[in-house]
Amino acid sequence: MSTVDSTHFDLVVIGFGRGGKTVAAAMGRRGRRVAVIERSAQMYGGTCPNVGCVPTKSLIHQAETGAGHGEAVGKTRALTTKLRGINFSTLDSIDSVTVLTGQAAFVDPKTVEVSAGDERLTVTGDTIIINTGAEPVVPAIPGFAGSTRVHTSTDLIGRDNLPRRLAVLGGGHVGIEFASMFAQFGSEVTVLDRAPRILGREDDSVAAAAEQVLADTGVRFVLGAEVTGLSEVADGAELAYRQGGEDASVVVDAVLVAAGRKPATDGLRLDLADVATTAGGAVEVDDRLRTSQPHIFAVGDVKGGPQFTYVSLDDSRIVADQLTGSGTRSTADREHIPYALFLTPPLARVGLIEREAREQGFAVKVAEKAVADIVAMPKAKILGETRGLMKFVIDAKTDRILGAALLSVDAQELINLVTLAMRHGITATDLRDGIYTHPSSTEAFNEVLSATRS
């Protein structure tokens, strides 16, 4: 790190995530002087290529194809190392962009201190972007603190040894993906959740179908349960919980905590910059992603809201428009953001679930069919994966699609077509009568959307 006391930049980006690095590259190519500060050389590129989307989906793919856990970890580690290098060189190759490795902390609204060991460097910026992401929350459960048995998702994907018995705390997206993955690798997986069912944001029928898929893979569920403690025993660790007024326990080798994530702002000293945060700890922004300081923006998970890489990418478009464009683009422009949950087969959803649509007063039609019963979807039969279902929620008055949940082969791709249809007013009938390639998963829409119920 340079020993220069102070360096001024047009743009300072704190964190190497998708949104920040995209703006940094765009501004650097325009000749603006840019500093990107990342606290760890192991996180060049941000969460997604290092400890998030890429390694988890790589491991899931390896599990689905029958690879052993050790082989899968090795291939995934090589992939993330390669991507980390590409991300670094993409910015480092731009003459006006400087990558600084160290912990960033505000000194005042225009000044950031970067520390690495005993070295300190102070930088100033006309514009600053906070892009530090989010981090897993570990609940204060007796026995968890300091235990080598307790892991976050970040820890677990880097583990060399496959846990024979794994407990997953949380029936949301992260917990379910890891449960599916490790069950396919051969772990005995138990999912524990306080809720009466998994995937609380989904319709009952969709959540039930997903639970059945996981049960078929060998995952055991303990629902409506509160975890009360962890203690070492001769054969591993005993995870105690209370369910239905009764105390019980399960002995495991590892525990994955998938109980949510919080904005990563510790150590930033946001108070010295007079940057306001929400009650939940996220950096507070307006619809153009400006903080309480007009020259400071926040992008990605640190600002709260949907924690998706593609949302962070869209954040970068909004900020870039403020810096070099018309300044009119905002979060209000966003419509119908899809998401995918990579169990096997994947679950993807966009828009309203049936209950939400009815509560909002829509006259609703529903098209729903089990994948195994869809004659016009030979792709699923070719691949030998006919589990799951497809469900569409439709406005009976306008024939517009209000939402869709796809638990099927290729769902993560199909949902993008549905989302595009929703954004551009393409009706359910239009989607039903589309001419699609064969054999493909898309042609299932011809059949699923042909029969509806009120």
Tens digit of each residue's pLDDT (9 = 90 or more) over 42-64: 999 999 999 999 999 999 999 99
Q: What is the average pLDDT across 357-371?
A: 97
Tell me which long-range contacts 422-427 makes (C-beta under 8 A, separation of at least 24).
422/335, 422/336, 422/350, 422/351, 423/335, 423/336, 425/400, 426/401, 427/398, 427/399, 427/400, 427/401
Is the model's pLDDT at 223 over the cut of 60?
Answer: yes
Query: Which pLDDT belongs to residue 4?
Result: 44
Express each pLDDT in 300-337 by its tens digit: 999 999 899 999 999 999 999 999 999 999 999 999 99
Secondary element (H or E) of residue 405: strand 401-407
| 3-class secondary-structure state, position 262 | strand
Given a contact cutoff of 8 angstroms between Cβ atoms, the answer to whether 62 and 20 are in contact is no
Q: What is the average pLDDT across 87-103?
A: 96
Tokens, residue 443: 């042609």
Q: How far apart are CA 26 and CA 17, in angstroms?
A: 14
Given a contact cutoff of 8 angstroms between Cβ atoms, the answer to whether 171 and 198 are in contact is yes
Catalytic residue among 8, 69, 424, 438: 438
What's the CATH code, domain 6-134+262-333? 3.50.50.60
Report which of 387, 354, 134 is spatially closest to residue 261, judged by C-alpha positions: 134
With pLDDT > 70 as the criterion, what percentage of the chain qualifies? Answer: 99
Report which of 410, 407, 454 is spatially closest to residue 198, judged by C-alpha positions: 407
Crossing angle for the helix pair 18-29 and 69-92, nearest 10 degrees? 30
In this structure, which amino acid lies at residue 36? V
Q: Which residues contact 143 (CB under 8 A, 6 or more apart)?
A: 229, 230, 231, 237
Report which of 178, 131, 133, 172 is spatially closest to residue 158, judged by C-alpha positions: 178
Do 6-134+262-333 and 150-259 fold alike per CATH? yes
Is the model's pLDDT at 5 over the cut of 70?
Answer: no
Given a contact cutoff of 8 angstroms between Cβ atoms, the answer to whether 22 and 11 are in contact is no
Kindly state the DSSP code that residue 427 receives in the 8-state scheme. B
Query: Which pLDDT belongs to residue 46?
Result: 94
Tokens, residue 113: 């201190």
Q: Is-catalytic flag, 69?
A: no
Q: How far apart are CA 162 and CA 250, in angstroms?
A: 18
Q: Which residues contact 281 (CB under 8 A, 6 or more apart)?
A: 262, 263, 265
Domain ranges of the chain: 6-134+262-333, 150-259, 339-448
Classify strands 165-169 and 188-193 as parallel, antiparallel or unpaired: parallel
Q: What is the average pLDDT across 274-278?
A: 97
Express each pLDDT in 153-212 by its tens digit: 999 998 999 999 999 999 999 999 999 999 999 999 999 999 999 999 999 999 999 999
What would the 3-class secondary structure string for 148-217 be?
A: CCEECHHHHHCCCCCCCEEEEECCCHHHHHHHHHHHHHCCEEEEEECCCCCCCCCCHHHHHHHHHHHHHH
Given a contact cutoff of 8 angstroms between Cβ atoms, the answer to whether 103 and 123 are in contact is no
Tokens, residue 3: 């020993």
Tokens, residue 168: 């997953």
Report which of 328, 336, 294, 291 is spatially closest to residue 311, judged by C-alpha positions: 336
Query: Which pLDDT belongs to residue 9?
Result: 97
Report which of 166, 152, 163, 171 is spatially closest to residue 222, judged by C-alpha positions: 171
Q: How far apart are CA 428 and CA 445, in angstroms?
A: 9
Classify strands 165-169 and 254-257 as parallel, antiparallel or unpaired: parallel
Q: How far apart are CA 373 and CA 377, in angstroms?
A: 9
Q: How far apart are CA 78 and CA 382, in angstroms?
A: 31
Query: Which pLDDT belongs to residue 257?
Result: 97
Q: How far apart are CA 362 and CA 355, in angstroms?
A: 10
Is the model's pLDDT at 3 over the cut of 60?
Answer: no
Express each pLDDT in 98-146 by its tens digit: 999 999 999 999 999 999 999 999 999 999 999 999 999 999 999 999 9
Q: What is the average pLDDT across 286-311?
A: 96
Is the model's pLDDT at 1 over the cut of 50?
Answer: no
Query: Which pLDDT belongs to residue 451?
Result: 86
Express each pLDDT in 236-247 by its tens digit: 999 999 999 999
Crossing angle for the helix pair 69-92 and 53-64, nearest 10 degrees? 150
Query: Which pLDDT belongs to residue 128?
Result: 98
Query: Which pLDDT belongs to residue 6?
Result: 53
Report which of 144, 166, 22 is spatially closest to residue 94, judged by C-alpha positions: 22
With respect to CATH, is domain 339-448 assigned 3.30.390.30?
yes
With pLDDT > 90 as the criterion, what percentage of the chain qualifies? Answer: 96
Is the model's pLDDT at 454 over the cut of 90?
Answer: no
Q: What is the rounded average pLDDT for all residues in the chain?
A: 95
Tokens, residue 311: 């949302």
Classify strands 339-341 and 364-370 as parallel, antiparallel or unpaired: unpaired
Given a contact cutoff of 8 angstroms between Cβ atoms, the answer to whether 145 and 29 are in contact is no
Report which of 202, 141, 195 is spatially closest to residue 368, judged by C-alpha positions: 202
Crossing angle for the helix pair 18-29 and 309-324, nearest 10 degrees? 30
CATH topology of domain 150-259: FAD/NAD(P)-binding domain (3.50.50)
In this structure, which amino acid lies at residue 387? R
